[in-house]
Structure formats: structure tokens, C-alpha cells
Amino acid sequence: MTKMIMVGLLALTAASAAQAGLQLGERPISRTEVISAAKKQFAEMDGDHDGAVSPDEFERYREVQNARPDRGRGLTHIGRSWFDKCDSDGDGRVSQSEAVARPLGLFDMADVNRDGVASLAEQSMAMLFVK
Ligand SMILES: [Ca+2]
Ligand SMILES: [Ca+2]
């Protein structure tokens, strides 16, 4: 019974955190959360819904993000070099899979013991690489 309540609470916490973006160093983060947060963010960036983020859409999203109180900090932060780092096939557009691959790559780097969850200790290591 207690265990069920705990699981319910964890699910709730995960859902609200995904809304707010993934902050590092606050609580454990799961791999599935990273994927869903990155997909949600991609949908926000892809303003014309053509399935790819263009350089213009990227710039626009940067402005929106920088206007937020926390400036979108955390694992899904879109930095200045985000576009170039994400566009791995170099076609000048960032697809959803390219966009998800980046935070996921950072996550996998953090998840040292590969259990699908980045613990707080693992995140504190990863924070050396993510701003
Ligand atoms: Ca687009
Ligand atoms: Ca591309």
C-alpha cells in the first residue's frame, strides 16, 4: 500500500518536472523523462510543424527561452551552439531524432551505472559538462 502511494507520488513529480524543463541537481532524472521533455521541446521549437527545426526557428526559440525566469537552464537548455551540435547529418535542419539525441547523449554520459536513472550524484558529475 505504502509502496503504491510512493510510486504514484513519483509519477506526479516526474510529470510536473517535465513541464518545467529538466533541472539538474534537484532530484533523480529518468531516461524516459529526458526523451519526453526533448520531444515536447522540439514540438515547441518547430513553429511551422514541418517536422524539423530551421535556423530561424532555433533563433526564435532562443529568444523565448532567454525571456524565461530561469533561462531554460538544465538538461534541455538550448545553447548558442545547439543547432550545429544537433544537426549531425549537416542538412541545415534539426530533426526530432537529432534534437532528442543531444540531451539523451548527455544523460547517458551522466548515467554511469546504466540503470536508466541519473541519480543526484551522477548528475553532479554531468553538471561539469552542461551549463
Ligand atoms: Ca520547422
Ligand atoms: Ca539534420
Question: In this structure, what DSSP letter does residue 88 have?
Answer: T
Specify which residues 40 forms β-bridges with.
Answer: none
**Ligand number with the minimum distance to the CA of 98:** 2
Tell whether pTM > 0.75.
yes
| CA pair distance 99, 57, nearest whole angstrom | 13
Cα of 51 vs centre of ligand 1, distance in Å, is 6
| CA pair distance 38, 45, nearest whole angstrom | 10
The three-state secondary structure class of 46 is coil
Taking alpha carbons only, the member of 108, 67, 88, 111 closest to residue 96 is 88
Q: What confidence category does residue 74 fall into, taking pLDDT thresholds of 50, 70 and 90?
A: confident
Cα of 55 vs centre of ligand 1, distance in Å, is 9
Domains of the chain: 2-126 (1.10.238.10)
Cα of 39 vs centre of ligand 2, distance in Å, is 15
Nearest-10 crossing angle of helices 2-20, 31-45:
30
12-58: pLDDT as tens digits: 444 444 445 678 888 999 999 999 999 999 999 999 999 999 999 99
Specify which residues 12 forms β-bridges with.
Answer: none
| CA pair distance 104, 75, nearest whole angstrom | 9
